[in-house]
Amino acid sequence: MPTKLNYSFDELMAERYFTKRVTRAKNMYHGGLDADGKWIPPRSLHRIDAINAWTGRLTDEGHPSKVLFLEDLPDTFFPNAPQAKHLLRNGATGAMSGILTLIGVVEGFGNVGLKMFPRDPLQPMFVEDLDGTCMAHLDPLFAAHGHDEAGSDYKGFHECGHDEMWYNIRDAALDNPPVPDDVFKGIPFSPPPGYAGQATPSGDAKNKNAFAGPLAEGIPPSLDMLVQAMMSLLAIELIAYTTFNWASDVLSDSTCSKDPEFAARSVGYIADDETIHVSYLQCALSEMRCRTVIGENGQKLSGQIIIDEAVERARANQSGLRIDRVMKYRMKEIEQELAAHADGDKLLEEFRALGPMPEMAA
Ligand SMILES: [Fe+2]
Ligand SMILES: [Fe+2]
């Protein structure tokens, strides 16, 4: 178990040695491969060891090192893998191309959201010493995470982050499908504040990121915002594993993917990178949970109560209306595509028989 607990910004951004880079159509992925062809996530010379060390410290001190679990979150993907394969095998690639594009768009949102996270020093807001904790290293961890999601430049070369990696997966698996501008219009979720890209939300997705009030009375507002933002990001990162399993299953199938090997491998790379995001968010939030917050008037607030309230809200946010909106949006895209297909009615019936469909308004 690594024991070094304090790292500089540059150490947490440092790269390991890559024997080979992964490229497709002149696009170079971040990270790389070792001599055995195994994936090395970006900025992982020290980052993984550091997170393991902080997590190990928590466990050694008898504290839980996770706050949110996969079992607490939705674990189904629509269209399910048989439904998605059915569409692709019958040449209906439009809706699937749109779904993969929007997965990439949402990855890019991650970087925009991270840039808006409050960065006030945390030590004045906690009773206990934060030296040698994950909480004390959030600046470089957020910076590295943002680059992972949306790419960055390294020594004069652009490296694709997860957003562009998904676009490459789409283009490899679906043989460079057309991506009309419409794909980015009226999407079923709101971009984070500060987003300047081409995606625009549908009318019913606007302003759905409403603030539900502070997690506890007297909590410093910047800590409140930070905890809520980190918890909802953690929920999104965990739910992403369902997407990875689905994409891996569908796009590694040679009967419906033009480049099953590359697509499956690329999804695996992204999943490996996301493990870093999940583990540092779990660790930092767990550290906060076993500490005492200094409230706005100097009162002592339980970290446990604050974090547990944030968990409840994140769970509630990831179910119900929001998911419903996304499912219905995908169903509408699929129906529209099949309506223009020569065998559309038959394909839709078969699609229906392969799994549940969202209830659509008449
Ligand atoms: Fe990602
Ligand atoms: Fe991530």
Our count of domains for the chain comes to 1
User: Nearest CA to 183 among 105, 275, 245, 287?
Assistant: 105
Q: Which of 102-106, 183-187, 273-277 has the lowest mean pLDDT?
A: 183-187
Residue 128 lies in a domain: yes
Burial of 189 (0-12, 13-18, 19+ CB in 10 A): buried
Q: Which amino acid is at 64?
A: P
Q: How far is the CA of 42 from the centre of ligand 2 (A)?
A: 12
Q: How far is the CA of 66 from the centre of ligand 1 (A)?
A: 19
Residue 276 CA: which ligand is closest? 2
Strand partners, 180: none
What's residue 208's pLDDT?
56
Q: Is the pLDDT of residue 313 over 80?
A: yes
The percentage of residues in the chain with a pLDDT greater than 70, rounded to a whole number, is 96
Strand, coil or helix: 154: strand
Residue 362 lies in a domain: no
What's residue 194's pLDDT?
85
Q: Which of 43-57, 143-157, 264-278 has the lowest mean pLDDT?
A: 143-157
Residue 70 lies in a domain: no
Residue 161 CA: which ligand is closest? 1
CA 194 to chain centre: 18
Sign of torsion, CA 6 10 16 22? positive
What mean pLDDT is predicted for residues 84-110? 95
Residue 2 lies in a domain: no
Q: Is the pLDDT of residue 155 over 90?
A: no
Catalogue the long-range contacts made by 92-97 (C-beta closer than 8 Å, 24 or more residues apart).
92/334, 92/337, 92/338, 92/341, 92/347, 93/174, 93/177, 94/177, 94/333, 94/337, 95/330, 95/333, 95/334, 95/336, 95/337, 96/174, 96/250, 97/170, 97/174, 97/177, 97/178, 97/179, 97/183
Q: What are the residue ranges of helices labelled H in 118-259?
A: 138-150, 162-173, 221-251
- Backbone φ, ψ for residue 28 (5° rounding): -105, 125
Residue 171 lies in a domain: yes
What mean pLDDT is predicted for residues 69-90? 94
Q: How far is the CA of 237 from the centre of ligand 2 (A)?
A: 5
What mean pLDDT is predicted for residues 143-147? 97
Give the alpha-carbon dihedral of 237, 271, 188, 110, to 10 degrees.
Answer: 60
Q: How far is the CA of 44 from the centre of ligand 2 (A)?
A: 14
Residue 322 lies in a domain: yes
Residue 5 lies in a domain: no
CA 237 to chain centre: 4
Q: Is the pLDDT of residue 101 over 90?
A: yes
Strand, coil or helix: 302: strand
On whether the CB atoms of residues 168 and 27 are closer than 8 A, the answer is yes
Residue 277 CA: which ligand is closest? 2
Q: Is the pLDDT of residue 362 over 50?
A: no
Q: How far is the CA of 275 from the centre of ligand 1 (A)?
A: 9
User: What's the rounded Cα separation, in Å, for the pair 339 and 245?
Assistant: 29
Q: Is the pLDDT of residue 2 over 70?
A: no
On whether the CB atoms of residues 166 and 107 are closer than 8 A, the answer is yes
Sign of torsion, CA 21 160 268 170? negative
pTM of the model as a whole: 0.95
Q: How far is the CA of 342 from the centre of ligand 2 (A)?
A: 39
Q: How far is the CA of 172 from the centre of ligand 2 (A)?
A: 22
Q: How far is the CA of 270 from the centre of ligand 2 (A)?
A: 8
Range of the domain at 15: 11-65+78-353
Q: Is the pLDDT of residue 344 over 60?
A: yes
What's residue 216's pLDDT?
97
Report whether the peptide linkage leading into residue 82 is cis, meaning its omega lies within 30 degrees of zero. Answer: no
User: What's the rounded Cα separation, in Å, for the pair 293 and 291?
Assistant: 7
Q: How far is the CA of 329 from the centre of ligand 2 (A)?
A: 23
On whether the CB atoms of residues 188 and 172 are closer than 8 A, the answer is no
Residue 117 lies in a domain: yes
Taking a 5 Å cut-off on Cβ, the residues next to ion ligand 1 are: 107, 149, 162
Q: How far is the CA of 31 from the centre of ligand 1 (A)?
A: 13
Q: How far is the CA of 332 from the centre of ligand 1 (A)?
A: 26
Q: How far is the CA of 193 from the centre of ligand 2 (A)?
A: 18
Q: Is the pLDDT of residue 37 over 70?
A: yes
Average pLDDT over all residues of the chain: 94
User: Nearest CA to 314 among 248, 230, 231, 238?
Assistant: 231
Neighbours of 17 (CB within 10 A): 9
Q: How far is the CA of 27 from the centre of ligand 2 (A)?
A: 20
Q: How far is the CA of 236 from the centre of ligand 1 (A)?
A: 10
> What is the tens place of the pLDDT at every residue in 217-270?
999 999 999 999 999 999 999 999 999 999 999 999 999 999 999 999 999 999
Q: How far is the CA of 90 from the centre of ligand 1 (A)?
A: 30
User: What's the rounded Cα separation, in Å, for the pair 145 and 160?
Assistant: 13
Categorize the per-residue pLDDT at 358 as very low, low, confident or very high, splitting at 50, 70 and 90: confident
